[in-house]
Amino acid sequence: MGASLMEVKRRIVSTKKTGQITGAMQVVSTAKLSQIQRHTQSYQIYASKIRSVITHLAQSHLLDAKAGNAKQSSEDGSSKFSGFDMLQKRPVKKSGYLIITSDRGLVGSYNSNVIKQSLDLMKQNGCTVDNTVIIAVGGTGADFFKNRGYDVAYEHRGVSDIPTFIEVREIVRSMVTMYNSEVYDELFVCYNHFVNSLQSDFHSEQMLPISEVNLDTDSEGIEVPNAMGNEDYDMEPSGYAILEVVLPQFAESLVYGAILDAKTAEHASSSTAMKSATDNAKDIISSLELTYNRARQSAITTEITEITGATAALE
């Protein structure tokens, strides 16, 4: 009985320590969630403005890819890569998927949901290991697809808890370079969209080539109203020169917005998972303490009975 009591007591102490750790992790994740939500709100203003500019130019018929490339070639006589290359559509031989996961566990069903839903989307689009290229942001996704034989053409690990715009530029540059080099002919982004602290939904969006579908809806699939109207306006420099600069920024805004959204969902999922773990630890401790007290009471009762019996025998 003594050994059993000691074992229960050790489990109580161990579970309390685990609960303290998960409780601290919950506090940290909640703090990170609060910080990134404030950051995301300010960024959404920029993303909305650049989408508005691109949409306005599209409605002014300035997003004709052939016309844009012809204009660019006539101005500098070169065939170098330009922002207009992101508008070029071609027959799809290989599809690219930018999949955003976390680098670590302890985030509940966050990673498994993204991976499962991404695989379902690939299957729906007729993608296989042979005709699919993976761009992985996050170690969990990168390792998963590598282990299953997929071509992981690019991976980025160690995204900051509050991602910066500079981090995204390298990812966008690699994405566009691979698209221009025909590593893939279309690109989708897949990630968990933050709804609230208790819910996140899988979201996917075609990013390349840029089309009016990308422009007419925001990152949550909501139609973007045309607040600027359809009137003509003067531009300096030319509309093509403006698009040359704005199109890459638009691609950057899409990727950065997706990573911010995914990181927000990750922190929320981590906070929820750690809260659940802490609550479970409390329940286990309560059950173990009840078991310990019952065993201790039983041991004391047994000792009293033995003493009483011995006393009676002496008399």
Domains of the chain by residue range: 24-225+238-273
CB 188, CB 207: distance < 8 Å: yes
- In this prediction, residues 108-135 reach a mean pLDDT of 91
In the numeric block, which tokens belong to residue 284? 């286990």
The rounded distance, in Å, linking the Cα atoms of 172 and 42 is: 21
Q: Where are the beta strands (DSSP E) in the chain?
A: 95-100, 132-137, 151-156, 186-196, 199-208
Residues pairing with 59 in the sheet: none
Query: With 60 as the cut, is the pLDDT of residue 229 above it?
Result: no
- Local confidence band at 134 (pLDDT 50, 70, 90 cut-offs): very high
Write down the pLDDT at residue 43. 82
Query: With 70 as the cut, is the pLDDT of residue 172 above it?
Result: yes
- In this prediction, residues 294-300 reach a mean pLDDT of 79
- Local confidence band at 176 (pLDDT 50, 70, 90 cut-offs): confident
Write down the pLDDT at residue 150. 92
Backbone angles phi, psi at 243, to 5 degrees: -65, -35
CB 99, CB 120: distance < 8 Å: no
Q: How many CA atoms lie within 13 A of 145 on its CB side?
A: 32
Among 247, 42, 256, which Cα is nearest to 169's? 256
The rounded distance, in Å, linking the Cα atoms of 99 and 141 is: 7
% residues pLDDT > 70 (the chain): 80
Lowest mean pLDDT segment, chosen from 169-173, 231-235, 266-270, 285-289: 231-235
Cα–chain-centroid distance for residue 176? 20
The rounded distance, in Å, linking the Cα atoms of 53 and 243 is: 9
Write down the pLDDT at residue 209. 84
User: At 281, which helix (H) or strand (E)?
Assistant: helix 239-314
Cα–chain-centroid distance for residue 235? 37
Among 162, 112, 121, which Cα is nearest to 141's? 112
Domain 24-225+238-273: CATH superfamily is ATP synthase, F1 complex, gamma subunit (3.40.1380.10)
The rounded distance, in Å, linking the Cα atoms of 206 and 199 is: 23
